[in-house]
Chains A and B, each alone.
Chain A
Amino acid sequence: MVAPNKERAKSTIRSLRRRDVNLAGLASIVAGLVAWELLSRFFVANALFLAAPSQIFAAIYQLAKSGELWWHIAISGIEFLLGYVIACGLGIVAGLAMASSDTAKKVLQPWMSGLYATPTIALAPLFILWLGIGIWSKVLVVIFLVLFPVAINTEAGLRTTSLRLIEMLRSFGARPSQIFFKLSLPSATPFILAGLKLGIGRGLIGVVVAELFGSRAGLGRLISQSADAFNMPELFAGVVILAVAGIVMTAGFGWIERTLVPWTQD
């Protein structure tokens, strides 16, 4: 009877600590914004080099009111989502193939490792040449950036299935397919989620950089055209929106992890 109570007490302490950390984090962000505001108002007087947070939020408000912002967000969002979903699907399938067949691993592994390490974003101009400046060139860039970490993590997760637990299931007469669904897949889930999380940041970079190389709309486009016009508030507006998107999606993933794989939290 002692253990669970102690456990509950521990988790209460943990959540209290988490609240402290959140307060400290919030204070740090506020202080940073104030410092930035002061810096850009009193030291970097030239609006060509830096925009104050107040100006940036004003720019975001204006862009949102005119509807321009939503258009950019929608385009970038569609590019990201299409590329991300396709890459995750392909990556998980490739990871499953590599984990379940030695031949598949030998065939795919060099490409996976090689292309994971390659800054494939440098191929963005080539993809734009092939597919035009529409969304599909960006989707392809995102696929190239997200696919490999997802595939590599999926494979690693499935390979680290505990031999002791496999044996336990075998002792009950489990078939290979039962071992896969009841053990390998759930125990690989934290690894797969880590790969998907890694993919968010890489995917966002892919969208923006590919848009910088050539596009009609999107947050990368907003940033590059603002830079051309020396419109610092709008440039930063694009960056802030991207940062918020990254933070929100990563936090969302944290929530998914806590819900889906709570046993890894301790």
Chain B
Amino acid sequence: MTTKLVISGLSKRFDGLEALHNINVDVERGEFISLVGPSGCGKTTLLRIIAGLEDATEGAVLLDGRALRGPGNDRGFVFQSDNLLPWRTILSNAMIGPEIAGHAGPHERQRTLDLLKLVGLEGFESYFPRQLSGGMRQRVNLARALAIDPEILLMDEPFSALDAQTREIMQTELLRIWEKGRKTVLFVTHQIDEAVFLSDRVLVLARRPGRIREMVAIKLPRPRGLPIKRTAEFVAYVDHIWRLIEDDVRASVIDEHA
């Protein structure tokens, strides 16, 4: 395995408040890593820094050995809300990345059509976002990020707005799509079972300041199906991670109600 992404000595302060403290992570090529932690642990901030949407106060992020500065087409970001443009068709929404980069030719068009097919939206290319359900819009969100053929996929709680059943379906769908291309993925979620189900490793963060509590390797066989969630190993992983963050979650709940 080769190292794809290096996060080294990364810290982030907002007005003196330390959101992230000395984060060091090496991500292997083709690895699926989830970030979990209580609210306020800076998991989304970390993802946004890697995406180039925010700057780190200290430290660096290296992709293939090259320091990242600002957003770029080497990273595809899947947002929590679908963020589709309501006046564009599904195909045209999914093509926005290549279009911004200035090469939306027939090759990219065919690629995007294939991706829409891959995410299960064949036949919906000329629909508008308002005609699609929430789950379908998130599929477009994913296809849009993949359309730029990124080195790494950054996903910020993409299923959090979906209902529980749709969410489970989308998890298996994501794994199916991921198995096809084996992109390197960083996936932020607050649902522990989602993290365990999807990931090779789960990065557990603590809060105030946001720092690494533990990196948990998930040694479950792939490909995984939903029944795996009922196995003893799976439940043990979920338990272990929950115990790591339980106190923090309680503290954050009290904070939010104070």
Contact = CB atoms under 8 A, between A and B. Distances in A.
A262 B99 CA distance: 23
Interface string A158-201: 00000011011111111000100011001100000000000000
A18 B46 CA distance: 51
B130 interface: yes
Contacts of B101: 172-173
A261 interface: yes
A3 B86 contact: no
A171 B71 contact: yes
A13 to B, nearest CB: 15
A4 B83 contact: no
Interface residues of B, number: 30
A165 B96 contact: no
A243 to B, nearest CB: 33
A3 B87 contact: no
Nearest to B123: A1
Interface in A219-264: 261-263
A165 B132 contact: no
A187 B72 CA distance: 24
Contacts of B86: 263
A7 interface: yes
A172 B100 CA distance: 7
Interface in B84-123: 85-87, 96-97, 99-101
Chain B interface helix/strand/loop/mixed = loop
Nearest to A7: B131
Contact of A169 (B51, B73, B96): B96
B94 to A, nearest CB: 12
A108 B256 CA distance: 43
A183 B85 contact: yes
B197 interface: no
Contacts of A182: 85, 96, 99-100
Given A4-B127, A173-B73, A186-B87, A164 B79 contact: yes
B136 interface: yes
Nearest to A162: B83
B234 interface: no
Nearest to A170: B71
Interface residues of A, number: 23
Contact of B83 (A168, A186, A187, A261): A168
B206 interface: no
A165 B83 contact: yes
Chain A at the B interface: SS class: helix
Interface in B137-156: 148
Given A3-B136, A263-B130, A172 B83 contact: no
Given A165-B83, A183-B85, A263-B87, A172 B130 contact: no
B81 interface: yes
Given A3-B131, A7-B131, A173-B101, A168 B79 contact: yes
A194 B70 CA distance: 37
Contacts of A183: 85
A261 B87 contact: yes
Nearest to B52: A171
A178 B124 CA distance: 26
B97 A172 contact: yes
A111 B100 CA distance: 38
30 contacts: A2-B133, A3-B132, A3-B133, A3-B136, A4-B124, A4-B127, A4-B132, A7-B130, A7-B131, A164-B83, A167-B53, A167-B79, A168-B77, A168-B79, A170-B53, A171-B71, A171-B77, A171-B79, A172-B96, A172-B97, A172-B101, A172-B148, A173-B71, A178-B100, A182-B85, A186-B85, A186-B87, A261-B87, A262-B128, A266-B130
Interface of A: 2-4, 7, 164-165, 167-174, 178, 182-183, 186-187, 261-263, 266
Interface of B: 51-53, 70-73, 75, 77, 79, 81, 83, 85-87, 96-97, 99-101, 124, 127-133, 136, 148
Given A178-B100, A182-B99, A263-B129, 14 more contacts: A4-B127, A7-B131, A164-B81, A164-B83, A167-B83, A168-B83, A170-B53, A171-B79, A173-B100, A174-B100, A186-B85, A262-B128, A263-B86, A263-B128
Pairs of residues from A and B, 6 with the lowest C-beta to C-beta distance, nearest first: A263-B86, A168-B83, A171-B77, A3-B133, A172-B97, A172-B100
